[in-house]
Structure 1
Amino acid sequence: MPFQVASQKPDITYSDVGGCKEQIEKLREVVETPLLQPEKFVKLGIEPPKGVLLYGPPGTGKTLCARAVANRTDACFIRVIGSELVQKYVGEGARMVRELFEMARAKKACLIFFDEIDAIGGARFDDGMGGDNEVQRTMLELINQLDGFDPRGNIKVLMATNRPDTLDPALVRPGRLDRKIEFALPDLEGRTHIFKIHARQMSVERDIRYELLARLCPNSTGAEIRSVCTEAGMFAIRARRKVATEKDFLEAIQKVIKGYAKFSATPRYLTHN
């Protein structure tokens, strides 16, 4: 099955997402408010956004934020991997898109999250290959479905991509994807927050300098920081300790973060317990 339907609402909340404060505020405005307080739009006489494009490098929180919004709104969460809609049989991808929106309409509230949308939403060109024609058929059906539902209804569409420059202008024009939200690499404050989020689920020693750890992970994504925290826990397990120390985190940074050697950490940091 090319799409995953959450049987219960996602367990991710806004407090579980670090380094995305601005992005969460924008998502709340364009997804949460229309679903929870639709009367605000009715009173003003405006249509809420139908869809939102989330773009940025992998591991920067796009999927996490989508799950958090679904949690907050109690909406059914359907995740679709774009590449899985690309089928070898003619018309199969378009049929899946139709079935997906039919399923969404049957829900009280539904958030459809298309991940890797560039797999089917790329700019159109024809090189005579049937596969590309099938991709275009799938995308045209998606556009047709976006045009076919009421923006004041119970469906909201989020799409995520690492390559926004490759998307077909017809897909991202206003009236289909009305908002575009960038997920950039987290800054120092964001990275520090991400470390704290993961550390609170771990057994760690007190007085760990999370800002120091964040400074040692420049240009890192939230996913990479999560890997650092996991590796720090592994160092503690190998040493048969019940808590992870700051030294474990520092050694994990050395192991996980590429290019760490370029940023000189003094011996004092590397031997600190």
Structure 2
Amino acid sequence: MVAFDIDRKFGGEESDDVEDVELLKRKINRLTKEVKRLKSELEYWKGEVNKLTNPPLIEATLLDVLPDGRAVVKSSAGPVLVVEVSSRVPKELLKPGISVAVNQRGSTVVDVLKGLEDPYVKAMEVVERPKTRYSDVGGLKQQLEEVREVVELPLKNPEMFKEIGIEPLKGVLLYGPPGCGKTLIARAVAGEVGATFIRVVGSELVNKFIGEGARIVREVFNMARKKAPSIIFIDEIDAIAAKRIEMGTSGEREVQRTLMQLLAELDGFDPLSGVAVIAATNRLDILDPAILRPGRFDRIIYIPPPDKKGRLEILQIHTRNMRMADDVDLEKIAEMTEGATGADLKAIVTEAGYNALRNKRKYVTMEDFLAAVDKVMRKRAGASYRLSPREGAPIQIHTM
């Protein structure tokens, strides 16, 4: 009896020791994993500290590689430098014209920047297609067909031009009074044609730094070539393409440099295959003759104010989703609005809708339209008008 109790006692102690050993092993495994995680976290934070303490790199353009292995680069800050090349950079990647990263402290090329695009130029690409379609353009059927021949046809069917043996036209220039549909046509082309659409405003190409405007023009056309088929739309091109003068300020000379780069891109050594250019201006009379010659803008299309038929088409487009009373006569409104542009007609439709809202109605009446015509046309002409109740036509009372 006593021996049995002793065996049970010692046997119980041995079981407890085994459990303690297993528990310690589990703790060691857990602590080992924790140490590994903490070491990984420590390495991460060391890397972050190095990133914060390392000096920034300078983006530069590689101009040439010298026989001794050094490189000639043009820094984005301005000067041309002769620098060393890090042994980590593969020599076969060093080709003139590429972008490289230069270390500030040692002035050494430490990396090759592949596929680098100027974010300012990249932002000009219209990623989301406009919802405007050709059916949204009224009164400009002939002009729209001419634009489609120059822009859409070469991009969608380039093989047709190869079969005939001619080169497609490079660009089209739209000119005319403000509000007549120049930008609307460009938006319609962007919405219909499945091509990269790059929108540039002429004033965006004017920069206070010497050579910066020309560089932006060059980058825009390079991006268009890379993403061909593509369309470049230059709005208000007269901001950079005005007639050149012999004497002028440094700012005017910089605008002229930008213009010369644009001329070189339109009709230079680098082909514009798969790239179409649309430009718009209100002032054709001040443009430089060099940009108007064939080979640059081959089609110069006048966008006139709409005639009566065109005004009716525009009114029908803008009122197709509008709830109107039976007394609304769009043909009569088109007749009353002689001289109005497409923008004026859109403003008239919008103003008529506001008149209905002011009167707490969910539909628009002819009276709302007459009041809108009176307001918009008076503002446009700079004169006061009143509407004849018998004829419904605007009658001028006095000029401003």
Normalising by the smaller structure, the TM-score range is: over 0.9
CA contact (8 A) 1:192 1:211 kept: yes
Report the alpha carbon displacement of residue 127 of structure 1 after superposing the two structures with TM: 2.5
From 170, 173, 182, the counterpart of 1:53:
173
Matched, 1:104 2:224: yes
Structure 2 partner of 1:265: 388
| CA distance in 2 between partners of 1:248 and 1:67 (Å) | 30
From 316, 319, 324, the counterpart of 1:204:
324
The code of the aligned residue for 1:142 comes to L
Report the alpha carbon displacement of residue 268 of structure 1 after superposing the two structures with TM: 6.7
Structure 2 residue runs without a partner (length 5+): 1-119, 394-400
Write the mapping of 1:114-153 to structure 2, written as runs, cut at 5 A: 114-148=234-268, 149-151=270-272, 153=273
- Look up the SS of the partner of 1:66 in the other structure: helix
The code of the aligned residue for 1:168 comes to D
Q: 1:268 to 1:180 in 2, by over 3 A?
A: closer
The code of the aligned residue for 1:94 comes to A
Structure 2 partner of 1:241: 361
62-71 or 205-214: which moved more? 205-214
Write the mapping of 1:51-200 to structure 2, written as runs, cut at 5 A: 51-148=171-268, 149-151=270-272, 153-200=273-320
Deviation string, structure 1 residues 72-114 (Cα, Å, up to 9, x no partner): 2212221111122111111111111111112211214211111
Structure 2 partner of 1:231: 351
| CA distance in 1 between partners of 2:248 and 2:143 (Å) | 40
Structure 2 partner of 1:222: 342
- Look up the SS of the partner of 2:280 in the other structure: strand
Report the alpha carbon displacement of residue 161 of structure 1 after superposing the two structures with TM: 0.7
Q: 1:265 to 1:42 in 2, by over 3 A?
A: farther
Q: 1:263 to 1:87 in 2, by over 3 A?
A: same
| CA distance in 2 between partners of 1:263 and 1:36 (Å) | 51
- Look up the SS of the partner of 2:246 in the other structure: coil
| CA distance in 2 between partners of 1:5 and 1:210 (Å) | 38
Deviation string, structure 1 residues 40-90 (Cα, Å, up to 9, x no partner): 211110111001110101111111111212222212221111122111111
Report the alpha carbon displacement of residue 245 of structure 1 after superposing the two structures with TM: 1.4
- Look up the SS of the partner of 1:157 in the other structure: strand
Structure 1 residue runs without a partner (length 5+): none
- Look up the SS of the partner of 1:57 in the other structure: coil
Report the alpha carbon displacement of residue 121 of structure 1 after superposing the two structures with TM: 0.4
| CA distance in 2 between partners of 1:27 and 1:51 (Å) | 9
Report the alpha carbon displacement of residue 207 of structure 1 after superposing the two structures with TM: 5.2
The code of the aligned residue for 1:150 comes to P
Please tell me whether Structure 1 or Structure 2 has the larger radius of gyration of its CA atoms. 2
- Look up the SS of the partner of 1:111 in the other structure: strand
Report the alpha carbon displacement of residue 166 of structure 1 after superposing the two structures with TM: 1.0
| CA distance in 1 between partners of 2:337 and 2:178 (Å) | 16
- Look up the SS of the partner of 2:128 in the other structure: coil
Deviation string, structure 1 residues 128-185 (Cα, Å, up to 9, x no partner): 310110000000011111124435x211001111111111111111111111111011
Report the alpha carbon displacement of residue 215 of structure 1 after superposing the two structures with TM: 1.1
Q: 1:122 to 1:262 in 2, by over 3 A?
A: same
The structure with the greater share of residues assigned to strand is 2
- Look up the SS of the partner of 2:151 in the other structure: helix
- Look up the SS of the partner of 2:124 in the other structure: strand
What count of residue pairs does the alignment treat as equivalent?
269
User: How does the TM-score come out when normalised to structure 2?
Assistant: 0.64
Structure 1 partner of 2:77: none
